[in-house]
Amino acid sequence: MPSIETLVTARLSLRSLGLTDADFIYALVNEPDWLTYIGDKGVHNLEDATRYIQTGPHAMYRQHGFGLMVVETLSEQRPIGLCGLLQRDNLSMPDIGFAFLAQARGQGYALEAAKAIIDNMFEKTSVLLLAAITAKNNQPSMALLAKLGFVFKSLHHMDEKDAGSNLFELSKADWLKTP
């Protein structure tokens, strides 16, 4: 399995996805908010979840050296979400993605995990600009991006069929200015 550096914060550990995370992935990608804001990834059983891990995050790790990471609480060592970087074919820069189980929302975990991902990326790579994509009506994600310092840039079409998503950007220079 491809692996990337584990990150640790005050309350969280962010690690590479493993095939043993199939149960967690199955649960997460079938939550109502995932289906509403991200979409159906065709993960309808554990075999589909394993395939998703192999063709998504593992492929991203191999190709780019980064990808979505499992976010676990240090206290209970249980997965509560995903957070990490993606490189989409239709974007020139990496973008940050995050999704958390319903019971883990509203506790600052997404903000803490995203800060760790952004700090690590700007510290260890030559990337100067980071993107974020949200559904047009995903108010919780847009609020989180604002807290992180992202600025709305434009409506972005992921493909010909896409009605458009919000594209946000954060520069390394602006990130380094934040307290």
CA distance 117 to 148: 11
Q: What is the pLDDT of residues 8-33, one digit of tens each?
A: 999 999 999 999 999 999 999 999 99
CA distance 133 to 169: 9
Q: Given this model, what pLDDT does residue 150 score?
A: 97
Whose tokens are 């604002």? That residue is: 146
Domain harbouring 70, CATH code: 3.40.630.30
In a domain, 1, yes or no: no
Helices (H), the chain: 22-29, 32-37, 46-53, 59-64, 109-124, 139-148, 172-177
Q: Given this model, what pLDDT does residue 89 score?
A: 87
In a domain, 23, yes or no: yes
Kindly report the pTM of this predicted structure.
Answer: 0.92
Q: Given this model, what pLDDT does residue 5 score?
A: 87
The parent domain of residue 151 ranges over 7-177
Q: Is 86 helix (H, G, I), strand (E, B) or coil?
A: strand
In a domain, 2, yes or no: no
Q: What is the pLDDT of residues 132-154, one digit of tens each?
A: 999 888 999 999 999 999 999 98
Q: Given this model, what pLDDT does residue 125 score?
A: 87
In a domain, 16, yes or no: yes
Which residues of the chain carry a pLDDT beneath 50? 1
The size of the chain, in residues, is 179
